[in-house]
Structures are given as structure tokens and as C-alpha cells.
Amino acid sequence: MADVSRVQSALLGWYAREARDLPWRKTRDPYAILVAEVMLQQTQVDRVIPKYHAWLARFPTLGDLAGASRADAIRAWQGLGYNRRAVRLHEIASQAVAAFGGKLPRSVDGLLRLKGIGRYTAGAVACFAYEQPEPMVDTNVRRVLSRVFGIEPAGVESMAASVIPRADAWAWGQALMDLGAGVCRVSQPLCLICPLLHECGGPRPSGGRRAPAGEFRSSNRYFRGRILDELRGLPTGRHLELDALAERVEGRVDLIHALAAEGLLEIDSNRRVKLPE
Ligand code: SF4
């Protein structure tokens, strides 16, 4: 299993440099974070951002939302789809006003008392609003933790809390989200630019299983495949520095040149490597 403290430090360092600038990361208002989480559950980030601002302008607090009609909530949800979510938010607001004086509870157990809030959303509010070391395991987070720690996806839920850095739970949760969304993708993860490559071991079949062990992992065939997999996974137009690529594949510069000679990749005069056009 990967070393937990090294994974924490590598991921938090990467997040400090690469974090996406998202509006719900600038607040600790639990209601605003709840709104963002519910919107993000079935809608892309780019589409959520304007709707998030508009919703909070229309209903700035839980009390404002509870005081509006269900029809108002559904109207304000226009353009987001899956309208049942608007009704769910409205019901949560009504319950929070009736049971908690218009505030959201701080604990996961308290949040789960509100009908419409499940384990993922409760964890997200507890972590992102109250900065508590609570896990929130969605499909992205499950995939990242499964790959990094080499465990089956079904086992992630029960181990996720144990790897949270207690002093940096908020950033850890956000970093897992970003890594899962942009780097550790479902197919063709961008392992070569991943901050966890050295801890994780690099590309492997999906589903959390480790790449072939033993002899195969030191064979030319393995490294040739790995070099090409990494180039294949790069966004269009991106190159990799030859030295950086070599470092990530245990110094196998010979294989990079061999692949170039075979026409499977190109190395330009600035020692940048890419797939052939
Ligand atoms: S090295 Fe690859 S598989 Fe491992 S976490 Fe990074 S992108 Fe995912």
C-alpha cells in the first residue's frame, strides 16, 4: 500500500499549485456549499457556476429558500435539469428552519437527520463548510483512492476516513476532487503529470487492480507500453520534456529513442516528446 503521509504531502502540494478557482471554494457558508454540491451531483462545473450565483442571489439563505414556494425553487432551477433536486433543496431548507433554526448541523449524523441529505452530501458539507475530517466518496474520489492505494473500489468507503490529513481535511477533499476530474480520469489517466505517480505506481488497468507485477513490470514491453500510454493520454497539442518522461519511466531513454526510430513518437530539437501527427 502506498505511504499515506507521502501521498498526503504530494497531493496537498499539487493542490496548492494547481487548484481550480471555483466560487464555492471561497466560502464556508454551509448552505452555499450544500447548493453547490447538489447542483454538481448531475451537472458539469461550467454549467453550475452561473446557476450557483443566480440561486444564491435569489435565495441567499436557507430561510429565504424555505420562505419561497416550491414553484419558485423549480423556476430558479431552470437550465440545470434533474429538477427533483430543486424540490429536494427546498425540502431540506424547510426542515432546517423547522428543526435547527435555519442552520445546517455541523455533524454528519446531524446532517443525515435531514431528509434529502445522503452520506456523500453530509460529508461534503461537514468537510467543506466546517472543515471536519469527514470523507465524501463520489465516483471520482473512489477511483483515485482505489488506484493510489491499490484496493477494490468497493472497499474505499470504509478506508477513506483513515487517510485524511486531519489538519488539512478541507484541502484534501478538494484536491481529490480535482485530481479525479482532471488527471486520474476514468480512461487514459494522465499518470505522467500526476503528483502521485511515484506513490501510485502509474498506469494500471481500471478498477483499482495493480499493473502486472514482477518480471513484466521491468520488461521492455511494459515500459514501451507505459511511455506510449502516457503520451496517448496527454491533451491534444501537449508535449512532454524528454528528461521528465525518462525520469518517470525509470530512465528508459533508450526505449524512448527506439520508439522514435520506429515512428511511434517524435522528439523535436528542443527535446520535447509527443505522438506523431
Ligand atoms: S498515477 Fe495515474 S492511476 Fe495513479 S492517481 Fe495518478 S493518474 Fe491516477
pLDDT tens, 22-49?
999 999 999 999 999 999 998 999 999 9
Residue 187 lies in a domain: no
Q: Binning pLDDT at 50, 70 and 90, where does residue 175 land? A: very high
* Alpha-carbon gap, residue 225 to 166, rounded angstroms: 38
pLDDT higher than 50, residue 211: no
**Residue 82 and residue 111 in one domain:** yes
**Residue 143 and residue 16 in one domain:** yes
Q: What is the CATH number of the domain that holds 107?
A: 1.10.340.30
pLDDT higher than 50, residue 270: yes
* Alpha-carbon gap, residue 96 to 6, rounded angstroms: 40
List of residues 6+ apart from 67 with CB closer than 8 A: none
Residue 207 lies in a domain: no
**Residue 36 and residue 118 in one domain:** yes
Range of 142's domain? 4-20+136-182
Work out which ligand 1 atom sits closest to the CA atom of 204: 3
> What pLDDT does 71 receive?
93
Quote the percentage of the chain above a pLDDT of 70.
94
**Residue 46 and residue 177 in one domain:** no
Amino acid at site 235: P
**Residue 124 and residue 140 in one domain:** no
What's the CA-to-centroid distance between 204 and ligand 1, angstroms?
Answer: 8
Q: What total number of domains does the chain contain?
A: 3
**Residue 103 and residue 48 in one domain:** yes
pLDDT higher than 60, residue 177: yes
**Residue 159 and residue 226 in one domain:** no
Active site residues: 37
> What pLDDT does 216 receive?
61
**Protein residues with CB under 6 Å of any ligand 1 atom:** 144, 147-148, 183-184, 189-191, 194, 196-197, 200, 202-203
Residue 189 lies in a domain: no
Ligand 1 mutation target, pool 1, 147, 204, most atoms within 8 A of CB: 147
pLDDT higher than 50, residue 149: yes
* Alpha-carbon gap, residue 275 to 268, rounded angstroms: 11
Work out which ligand 1 atom sits closest to the CA atom of 190: 7
pTM for the full model?
Answer: 0.74
